[in-house]
Amino acid sequence: MNAHTTVNNHTPGDTGPQGDGSAMQTEKSETALDGAALHQALAIATAEEREDILRETVRTQLADILAPAVVDDDSNFLENGLTSLTALELTRNLMTLTDVEIPLVAILEYPTPAQLGHYLAEAYAAVNSGDGATA
């Protein structure tokens, strides 16, 4: 799980107050959407670890979008204020990070970080079953 910690350590350092919000948002977005570290972590993870990593990635991305909302594994996206525009942002961010095509309807079909993380783990495994490691 050490890879899991490395992937998700980007967000805590980015949440402190910083002047105007635009600089913070740009810095956070660039750091949060670097999929290389995520791909490395997923490539060496077991199936269970991969699901944990992707669940945490969903939570992190959702918390960034809905800030300052607290998001736990069973938080319903829509009940936490996710709109059609923010759902589109969430799926776009997750697709950028994972290189897995995520239909927008997946947000409704898998409406919690735990459920969407499970879906992403299965989809990621299916996409990468041929080569095991992606860059």
pLDDT at res. 129: 81
Domain that holds residue 118: 47-129
Please state the domain count of the chain.
1
Structure tokens at 119: 């879906």
Q: What is the CATH number of the domain that holds 73?
A: 1.10.1200.10
Structure confidence at residue 14 (pLDDT): 39
pLDDT of 121 higher than 80: yes
10 in a structural domain: no
Name which of 99, 127, 125 is nearest 36 in CA terms.
99
Q: How many residues does the chain have?
A: 135
Q: What are phi and psi of 91, to 5 degrees?
A: -65, -40
The verdict on residue 35 lying in a domain is no
Considering the entire predicted model, what is its pTM?
0.70
With contact defined as beta carbons under 8 Å apart, do 134 and 39 qualify?
yes
CA pair distance 81, 89, nearest whole angstrom: 13
**Residue 21 lies inside a defined structural domain of this protein:** no
pLDDT of residue 70: 80
